[in-house]
């Protein structure tokens, strides 16, 4: 049963957090709340067994609907690409 490494999970969480800076018209309190929600996904991501990029992306969208709805157009594609890279490494281990 392959899992994402802590470094891979950190990279995914970091990309999601960096996307918050691209959101227009959000105040500091809203950004802090979103960062907190994203950081809470660390353990969930680390516990996933044999994750696929599509499964992770769909589950993240379900778990963070308010965050994903505010990301700019095309940001989801960037997240999917990163998830494919990280989950693709699992197959080569």
Q: What percent of the chain has pLDDT over 90?
A: 81
pTM above 0.85, yes or no: yes
Considering Cα of 51, then 55, then 59, then 60, what sign does the dihedral take?
positive
Minimal CA–CA distance to 47: which of 38, 58, 56, 34? 56
Mean pLDDT of 9-21: 95
In the chain, what are the domain boundaries? 6-91
Q: What is the pLDDT of residues 50-74, one digit of tens each?
A: 999 999 999 999 999 999 999 999 9
Q: What is the pLDDT of residues 40-50, one digit of tens each?
A: 999 999 999 99
């Amino acid at each position: 049963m392959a899992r994402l490494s802590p470094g891979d999970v950190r990279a995914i969480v970091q990309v999601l957090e960096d996307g918050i800076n691209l959101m227009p018209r959000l105040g500091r309190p809203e950004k802090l709340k979103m960062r907190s929600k994203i950081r809470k996904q660390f353990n969930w991501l680390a516990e996933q067994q044999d994750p696929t990029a599509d499964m992770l992306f769909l589950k993240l969208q379900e778990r963070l609907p308010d965050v994903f709805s505010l990301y700019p157009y095309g940001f989801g594609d960037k997240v999917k690409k990163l998830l494919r890279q990280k989950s693709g490494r699992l197959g080569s281990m």
